[in-house]
Amino acid sequence: MMDPNRFEFDRSAYERPNNTYVCGRGGEWRTPCRQGPSHDGTCGGVAGCKPYHNRDRWECRRAKAAGGPCENGPAPDGTCGYTQSPCVPRRTLRQHRWRISVIAPGLVVAALAAFTHLAGDVDVIAEIFRIGALDAGELTDKHAGFIGAQGCKACHSAHGAPPMVWLASAFSENDMSKACVGCHTFGGPVSAPHNAIFTAGKKVRQTECAMCHTEHKGHDANISDLSDRQCASCHEKPFTDFGKDHPDFSKQFPHFRRSSIKFSHASHLGKHFEDRTVAKGVPASCTTCHQAESAQRTVELLGFEETCAVCHADQIAKRKLVVLQLPEFDETDIDPQSVVELCGLNEDVEAEDDYESISSDEMSDISAYMMGLPSDDPGEYGTAFQELVMGMAEDGTTPLVEMLKGRVATVDLVQLLAGLNPEVTKRMACAWAFNLEYELPAEPAFGGWYGDLLELIYQPGGHADPVLMGWLNLAINAGGDSEEALGRAEKMRARLLSPKDGPGACIKCHAVTRDAADGPLRIEWRFHKDETGGHPSYSHRRHLGLVDPSGVKLADPNKGCTTCHRLDANADFEAGFKDYDPMTYSSNFFSIKKETCVQCHAQGHVRQDCRLCHNYHKEPAFTEKVTRNEN
Amino acid sequence: MSIAHLTRPQRWDLPFDPEMDESDVASLLERPEIIAINAAAFPDHTPFAGILKNDTRIVHFKAGDIVVREGDYGNSAFLILSGKLRVIVGDYPDVLSGRNRTGKKGFFATISQIWTNTNIPEARNTEKLKLQAVRSGDSRGTRNSRQSNPTRVFVRDISAVLDECSTVQEGEGELFGELAALGRTPRTATVFAETDLTLLEVRWQGLREIRRFDDRFRRTIDRRYRQNALLVHLSETALFSNLDEEVLGRIAEATLFETYGTFEWHVSFQRLLSSGQRGVEHEPVIARQGDYADGLLMIRAGFARVAIEFGSGQRTLTYLGAGDTFGLEELYAAWKDGETVSLGASLSALGYVDILRVPAQVVEEYVFPEIASPPSKTVDGGNRAMAKDALLEWAVEERFINATKSMLIDLNRCVRCDDCVRACASTHGGNPRFIRHGKTFDHWMVATACMHCTDPVCMIGCPTGAIHRSEVGGTVVINDETCTGCATCASACPYNNIRMVEIRNKRGVSLVDPESNRPILKATKCDLCYANPGAPACVRACPHKALSRVDFQRETLVEGNLV
Amino acid sequence: MPLEGSSELTGYLMLGTMIFLALFNVRKRLSMLVLGNASTWLTLHVVIGVFALAVYWLHTRTIWPGGMYEKALAILFYLTVLSGIVGYVIQRFYPRLMTQTGIEVIFERIPLYISELRQEAEALVLECCDKTRVDTLGRHYLESYQWFFSRPRFTFNHIVGSQRSRQWLKHQDEVVRRYLNEDERKYLDDLSRLARQKERIDLHYTLQGAMKRWLLVHIPLAAALMVLSFWHFLVVNVYSL
């Protein structure tokens, strides 16, 4: 077999490795024939050779490799003497490989077909199998509970569609966000980054929910747990180190907007709290007023009663609201007789020939505004006012109500005149009708409406007096048709809203704000939770373990709250309240710099990933569909 | 064999033409050219008449028949007995040769192989088989049998050829073809019969004997060689290239011709190998290590082994082929230093070699003053590990020295995937042209794929010139259309690299020659994918770089890798 | 740049990688065109095959995905890669083992060689029994060598490179030698020589067969993987892109 004669050209024919068949006998490890199968797969070795008819004889044509022409030669009829039954040619390994390589993908296709559409419809098992070829993994528990009978179709609108529609949806953009919004809502457009409305003008890309939140990751996967990398796919500056890479905080952080109350920490901590006389009112520490222990970003304050009232409660009652003032009259139209009829006799009345107005004042700004009359021209206002007086003498409050009705809505009326006793107005009006000053029987020690001399006064009972609030709210946006009317409104406003002498001293502390450029003014009655400055969240509660403010004295500049909030004694705090723009503001405190945070939030220390402070979504919530109780 | 038995040359047992008889010889002996040869000078065991009887034959050509083609290999000389023939000088139409001069396949032809390749073995497009101007004869038979009706390629339109090409007419008494016969070089021109022609064809053995014994004949032959071929050969040799014609002429005059070994080495060497008569000790020695270098040896044809004494044997340093020189460094050193320098290695004949010996004085006088010191080409064989040369030694013994493109397969890399065979088949219509088997040595195998030898013995004797050397790269190719299936080449190839195949039509039915009732055979072999774009497909297709086409002399074989 | 964790990018990269890997088989069938050396293609195939494993893990971000058809994809992928690695390893080591036998045989001719050896062995045994008039060797042949010469044997041992067959042959020789006379022993020597020759052929059959058969695992798996990958591509485009 290793005989070199094996290589001779007439003993060794070409091997054809692309052959599809080999001799069957060889495949069974018997003796294979030399000829091998013919190319069409039939046995080629039935006969030893194919005898040739040469003139009148048959000659053997056996290949030399097989031994050359045989001794006996073919039979006289031309058949070869060495015949055997045909074998069944076997396929070569390469052929087998080809066939298996066709069958294997075929099996895959068959399995896919079986697992998508061809299984029965109703059976539970079939249902499992049916989506087997499409099953991409478990849903999170929360979503799985909401899918219900819809199944995959709840989010994938193409599921279950006819084949061509299903295929066509491969070429269209997906609309899964629509499905998400069925249950999830946000404070802004769903498809905008951060659910924000961008006004800068540059075209902002649309975002889809599935871009960041990928489902089918298992039943206990957290699909809202996103990484810095995902933030970095839009915010292109890559961050590895908060300290180095994050931009510095804004200059004003976190004091972008002035508070609603004009409380100057500098003056209080620096001056007022030093005053011995008010020692009992001085808070022990920052957290006496600021409820930081449970606060997240915004630290709520305790109310006026718990904090400021100790020192400031008295001041409120001292400032009174003068609603009506008896002005000077040139003449009187009041018939004394009718007065007597209404009011009874008054022994103080002196008969006089010449009328001399008891008052030499102007009309109060409020009444001037309300009646729409110039406050300094008796000729204009005289008659109307006297009518008012007579009306009050007769009816008590009715004419006042009438006067106000033209200017305010009914609801506000109640607030404006709450507590007004008709007795007060009548007796007062009677005195004025007699051209006398009205004299109180006693000191108005308990506040409320009372007339005094020439004025109808309201004295606030205490903080947050609703009547006063009503009048101030009325005054703040009072307007007029004409320039004169506007002027009167302006005067009324100026008087009521004066920080120094406005009634109730409300405006001494409460800021007046114009929110929008041409919008109305507003008095900030309540604590304003400042949400400017973007989304970053901060938890005071979590940090107080480090900067425990309890027990830290107010004055201590290094410990407690002042670790981050350092008092800036030189800031012009007052200036921020002089205009109506809440954003022009110099805080009492230095802004907080990034370096403060980096002490702990740095590479290798505490968490410093984006989502620690920044939220992506604006006010994420659920729709009614989710929260509604179906029962 | 003792001399007593050697009454006559053994080859005369198979005369060139068995039907040559006494009367033929007698009529030849009356011719003036034959008379001119001194029959008395021939020894008793090789009489001249015997040579005429056994080593010659008379062949007849009809007008238009092509006698020899340029580029063919042949080993006969011809003497014109009667008639006229034309030797074509310069260009001639392709159809006169039996070759096809198709270039590489174009883009579409290459791509279309993807779907035209078929699994039917050796299918041929029978409509396209243009049966060339081949007058069919008894296409089987060996070289030596007399063909009463020989196969000839003929020129259809003689006058057209005469008009188109420049030719030289030769007439009675002229001798031609002896250089090619003696030197194993290709025919230099195409010769065809102008009229009906009778030639005396002398095979090279007879020619050699006549040259040996008849001085005048030898001088004639040698002079013709010197005039026609040697000058050209010398002027093309780098060593003599800047000498002028006159000097070259003198060198040519002084050059001696020597022949060593057996001309028909390829017939017997396999037999000798297996009987153990191989190895350097059986090779004729041309020059011995330690001898005084008395001349510059130049190899004209054949191969010679350069070896040094090593241990108890000889260690091969390299082998030399046509154009290589031996002894140059020693001669130059001797001339320069004025001392005698002995040869650093031995030179022995591998199979057969023609040597030109330029005497030392001639070289010293004319050549050395003109040249700078020759670069040392000696291979330092003594210090290399023996294992490094083992492959070379084996290759030389197996006579793979002949190869320019032997298919060498590294068996440690080959995964027997047959991708090479498939690639070969893909470029040949689905039919592979080699077999992945062959002689092995250590982890090397030389597969039975045509090696495109320097000395292509397969080409000798092709009746139609179907097997020829392509002009580009020297690839030996077979023109499928003119091949008559005589199997001369297949039996001649000493490495069994040519195979005869039965051809079929497109439906797979074997084609049969209607006259002889035998299947039509064609000779096939590796053709280095010469008609296909890109390098040979087998080399490109091996995923493990196990297969290379190698010339053993040029490659440096480092153990385990081909560098 | 998509925000969804770059699965789309790695998905396309995976698709491109797998198509390139599959093209290797195509190139092998197109040797008549000049498409680059197959050795370059193989190197790229192996390197990119390992790269594909990395890309796969980048794409799925897990070793074992959820979902039925994705699990099927993972199985097919891992098996394909594994079979590829096995194939690469055996192709590195088996050729050397074959060279070490000292012989070289063409795979398709092995049935012929084995049947010749078998016939030679049987002729030898018959001649021995004939000449020596004793049938011991013949009986032993029927008990042992006949099984051995009938077809390739000890395939598993050849696969793992153990010498069990040689050991077995040596043993069978020893077993009978003590019952033979000197003439018979000469025949036994010849028989053993034939048997060792057959053993070498067995090794070639096994190793060359292994180097052909591993592709019957690798290629069908790869084909199935391609089909399922295409399905995955379709489903992803329908359901989430």
Tell me whether residues A210 and C213 touch, CB distance under 8 A. no
Task: Tell me the CA distances in angstroms from B278 to B449, B553, C122, one per residue in order.
Answer: 24, 20, 36
What does the pLDDT look like over A324-357, one tens digit per residue? 888 888 877 777 788 888 888 777 766 666 777 7
Q: How far off is chain C from B204, nearest CA to CA, in Å?
A: 40
Lowest mean pLDDT among A113-127, A335-349, B66-80, B331-345: A113-127
Domain boundary among B384, B400, B426: B384
Residue B501 belongs to what domain range? Answer: 390-562
- The reply to whether residue C106 touches residue B435, judged by beta carbons under 8 angstroms, is yes
Element (H, E) at C9: helix C7-29
Query: Contact C240/A176, CB-based, under 8 Å?
Result: yes
- Per the CB < 8 Å rule, is C234 touching A167? yes
CB contact under 8 A, B421 and A15: yes
Query: Would the CB atoms of B517 and A39 count as touching at under 8 Å?
Result: no
* Residues of chain A positioned with their CB less than 8 A from the CB of C213: 93
- Cβ(A258)–Cβ(A528) below 8 Å: no
Confirm or reject contact between A29 and chain B (CB < 8 A): no
Higher pLDDT, C34 or A281: C34
Within 10 angstroms of residue B275's Cβ, the number of other Cβ atoms is 9
Residue B419 to chain C, least CA–CA distance (Å): 8
Q: Do C130 and C155 reside in the same domain of the chain?
A: yes
Whether the Cβ atoms of residue A317 and residue A500 lie closer than 8 Å to each other: no
Widest CA span in chain C:
91
- Residues A420/A384, Cβ–Cβ less than 8 Å: no
Residue C205 lies in a domain: yes
Strand partners for B342? B292
Chain B residue with CA closest to C34: the answer is B534
Q: Is A97's Cβ below 8 Å from some Cβ in B?
A: no
ipTM confidence score: 0.91
Q: Which DSSP letter does residue B299 get?
A: E
Query: Which residue's entry shows tokens 């080591």?
Result: C93
State whether B331 and B437 are in the same domain. Answer: no
Residue of B413, B532, B534 lying closest to C95 (CB–CB): B413
Cβ–Cβ below 8 Å for B517 and A54: yes
> What is the rounded CA–CA span in Å between residue C120 and residue B412?
31
Chain B interface includes A500 (CB < 8 A): no
Residue of C nearest to B427 (CA): C32
For residue B109, tell me if it sits in a domain.
no
Nearest CA in chain A to C102: A2
Same domain, yes or no, for C93 and C169?
no
Using a CB-CB cut-off of 8 Å, the residues of chain B touching A8 are 496
Is B104 part of any domain? no
Q: Chains with ≥3 Cβ pairs under 8 A against B?
A: A, C
pLDDT at A316 over 80: yes
More reliable by pLDDT, B557 or A457: A457
CA-based nearest residue to C121, from C189, C211, C69, C56: C189
pLDDT for A411: 65
pLDDT tens per residue across span B430-446? 999 999 999 999 899 99
Q: What is the DSSP string of C50-119?
A: HHHHHHHHHHHSSSS-SSHHHHHHHHHHHHHHHHHHHHHHHHHHHHHHHHHTS----GGGHHHHHHHHHH
Neighbours of B417 (CB within 10 A): 23
Instruction: Name the minimum distance, in Å, from the CA of B493 to any CA of chain A.
Output: 9
Give mean pLDDT, residues A400-420: 79
Same domain for C44 and C93, yes or no, is: yes
Do the chains contact at A18 and B425, CB–CB below 8 Å?
yes
Q: Which residues span the domain enclosing A25?
A: 1-91
At residue A4 the predicted structure's pLDDT band, cuts being 50, 70 and 90, is low
- Whether residue C148 lies inside any domain: the answer is yes
Question: Among all chains, which residue has been given the structure tokens 């070569």?
Answer: A92
Question: Does residue B113 lie in a domain region?
Answer: no
Exposed, middle or buried: residue A30 (CB in 10 Å: 0-12, 13-18, 19+)?
Answer: middle
Domain around C185: 107-211
Is residue B5's pLDDT more than 50?
A: no
Q: Which residues of B touch C (CB under 8 A)?
A: 110-111, 113-114, 117, 411-417, 419, 422-423, 426-427, 435-437, 440, 442-443, 445, 532-534, 537, 539-545
* pLDDT band with cut points at 50, 70 and 90 for residue C2: very low
Q: Is residue A70 part of a domain?
A: yes
Contact between chains at A105 and C231 (C-beta distance less than 8 A)? no
Q: Are residues B417 and B474 in the same domain?
A: yes
Say how far apart CA B348 and CA B284 lie, in whole Å: 6
Q: What is the pLDDT of residues A464-518, one digit of tens each?
A: 888 888 888 888 888 778 888 888 888 888 888 888 888 878 888 888 888 888 8
Closest partner residue to A138 (CB to CB) among C66, C215, C237 is C66
Q: Is C232 a domain residue?
A: yes
| DSSP SS3 for B127 | coil
Cα(C198)–Cα(C117) distance, integer angstroms: 7
Tell me, yes or no, whether C115 and C181 share the same domain: yes
**Same domain flag for B348 and B483:** no
Q: Are residues B498 and B430 in the same domain?
A: yes
B74-83, B229-238, C219-228, range with the lowest pLDDT: B229-238
| Residue A9 covered by a domain | yes
Q: How far is A192 from chain C (nearest CA, A)?
A: 14
| From A320-334, B4-18, B484-498, the region with the lowest mean pLDDT | B4-18
Share of chain A above pLDDT 90, in %: 3
Question: What is the average pLDDT across A284-303?
Answer: 83
List CB contacts (< 8 A) between B547 and chain C.
none
Inter-chain touch A54–B274, beta carbons under 8 Å: no
Residues 200 to 229 of C: which have CB under 8 A from any B CB? 208, 211-212
A226 Cβ neighbours under 8 A, 6+ residues apart: A212, A213, A611, A616
Last residue of one domain, picked from the residues A58, A76, A91: A91
Residues B458 and B511 in one domain: yes
Asked whether residue B334 falls in the same domain as residue B407, the answer is no
**Residue B498 forms part of a structural domain:** yes
A77 touches chain B (CB under 8 A): no
Taking a contact as any Cβ pair under 8 Å apart, which residues of chain C between 172 and 201 contact chain A? Answer: 197
Same domain, B44 and B181: yes
In this predicted structure, the answer to whether residue A119 has a pLDDT above a threshold of 50 is: no
Q: Across chain A, what does the average pLDDT equal?
A: 81
- Do C135 and C85 share a structural domain? no
Window C:26-85, CB contacts with B under 8 Å? 28-34, 36-39, 41-42
Q: Both C205 and C232 in a single domain?
A: no
Burial B480-494 (b: 16+ CB within 10 A, else e): bbbbbbbbbbbbbbb
Q: Do residues C31 and C71 share a domain?
A: yes
Angstrom distance (rounded) from CA B454 to CA B562: 21
Q: What is the band of B137 on the pLDDT scale with cuts at 50, 70, 90?
A: very low
The DSSP code sequence of B484-539 is ----HHHHH-TT---EEEE-B-TTSPBPB-TTT-SB-EEEE---TTTTSSSS-HHH
- Better-scored residue on pLDDT, B133 or A474: A474
For residue range B166-186, list pLDDT tens digits in order: 778 888 888 888 877 777 677
Q: What is the mean pLDDT of residues A391-400?
A: 82
Q: b or e along A510-531 (b: 16 or more beta carbons within 10 Å of the residue's beta carbon)?
A: bbbbeeeeeeeebbbeeebebe
B131 belongs to a structural domain: no
Number of domains in chain A: 2
Looking at residue B489, its amino acid is C
Examine the domain organization and report whether B190 and B248 are in the same domain. no
Nearest to A137, CA basis, from A211, A214, A218? A218
φ/ψ of A549, rounded to 5, equals -85, -10
Beta-carbon separation of C32 and B417 below 8 A:
no
Q: Select the residue of A29, A32, A138 nearest C151 (Cβ to Cβ).
A: A29
In whole angstroms, give the CA distance from residue A277 to residue B126: 129
Return the higher-pLDDT residue of A120 and C184: C184
B419, B445, B533 ranked by CB distance to C28: nearest: B419
Tens of pLDDT, residues A204-251: 778 888 878 888 877 888 888 877 777 777 777 777 788 788 888 888
Residue A273 included in any domain: no
CATH of the domain at B87: 2.60.120.10
Note whether residue A408 is domain-resident. yes
Q: Are A401 and A412 spatial neighbours (Cβ–Cβ below 8 Å)?
A: no
> How big is chain B by its Cα radius of gyration, in Å?
25
Min Cα distance A103 → chain C (Å) is 8
Using the predicted structure, report yes or no on whether residue B547 has a pLDDT greater than 90: yes
Q: Which residues contact A35 (CB under 8 A, 6 or more apart)?
A: A44, A45
Do C197 and C234 have their domain in common? no
Which pLDDT belongs to residue B2? 31
Q: Give the model's pLDDT for residue A81.
A: 77
CB contact under 8 A, C106 and B437: yes
Name the E strands within B221-329: 256-261, 285-287, 295-310, 313-320, 325-326
Residues C206 and C220 in one domain: no
Return the exposure string of A186-212: e unless at least 16 CB atoms fall within 10 Å of the residue's CB, then b. Answer: bebebebbbbbeeeeeeeeeebbbbbb
Closest CA relative to residue B81, chosen from B40, B46, B154, B29: B29
User: Which of B119, B490, B500 is opposite residue A20, by nearest beta carbon?
Assistant: B119
What's the gap between Cα B454 and its chain centre? 7
Q: Which of B114, B416, B533 sits opposite C34 (nearest CB)?
A: B533
Total structural domains in chain C? Answer: 2
Please state at what angle helix C110-132 crosses helix C182-213, rounded to 10 degrees.
170
Structural domains in chain B (count)? 3
Residue C191's pLDDT band, with cuts at 50, 70 and 90, is: very high
Is the pLDDT at A631 greater than 70? The verdict is no
Instruction: From chain C, pick out residues whose CB is under 8 angstroms from the CB of B417.
Output: 211-212
Q: Touching A: which chains, 3+ CB pairs < 8 A?
A: B, C
The answer to the question of residue A511 being in a domain is yes
Report which of B307, B271, B226 is spatially closest to residue B494, judged by C-alpha positions: B271
User: What is the chain A residue with the closest CA to C217?
Assistant: A97
Looking at the domain assignment, is residue A302 inside a domain?
no
Beta strand spans in A157-280 (E): 184-185
In a domain, B475, yes or no: yes
Whether residue C172 lies inside any domain: the answer is yes
Q: Do the Cβ atoms of A233 and C150 come within 8 Å?
A: no
Q: How far apart are CA B303 and CA B469, in angstroms?
A: 20
In a domain, A600, yes or no: no
Residue B331 sits in the same domain as residue B423? no
Task: Please tell me if residue A52 touches chain B, with a CB cutoff of 8 Å.
Answer: yes
CB contact A218 to C (< 8 Å): yes
Contact C31 B416 (CB under 8 A): no
Q: Mind telling me how many Å the CA of C102 is from chain A's nearest CA?
A: 10
Give the closest-approach CA distance of C146 to chain A in angstroms: 13
How far is the C-alpha of B206 from the C-alpha of A174, rounded, in Å? 94
| Residue A26 to residue A19: CA distance in whole angstroms | 15
User: Which of C31, C101, C105, C205 has the most B C-beta neighbours within 10 Å, making it the best mutation to test the interface with B?
Assistant: C31
Residue among A8, A18, A38 whose CB faces B496 most closely: A8
Is the same domain home to B412 and B548? yes
Give CA separation, C180 vs B289, B378, C167, C184, in Å: 57, 60, 21, 6
> Which of B435, B491, B505, B525 should one mutate to test binding to chain A, selecting the residue with the greatest count of A CBs within 10 A?
B435
Residue type at position A134: L
Both B322 and B186 in a single domain?
A: no
Quick check: A7 contacting B, CB < 8 Å? yes
- pLDDT grade, residue B145 (50/70/90)? very low
Answer yes or no: is B429 within a domain: yes
Average pLDDT over residues B315-332: 86
Three state DSSP letters for A287-348: HHHEECCCCCCCCEECCCCCCCHHHHHHHHHHCCEEEEECECCCCCCCCHHHHHHHHCCCCC
**Domain membership flag for residue B130:** no
User: Closest Cα to residue C203, out of C161, C141, C172?
Assistant: C161
Inter-chain touch A103–C220, beta carbons under 8 Å = yes
Are residue C111 and residue C21 in the same domain, yes or no? no
d(CA A82, CA C34): 47
pLDDT at A130: 60
**C1 within domain boundaries:** no
Residue of C nearest to B438 (CA): C104
In terms of domains, do C84 and C124 share one?
no
Same domain for C50 and C96?
yes
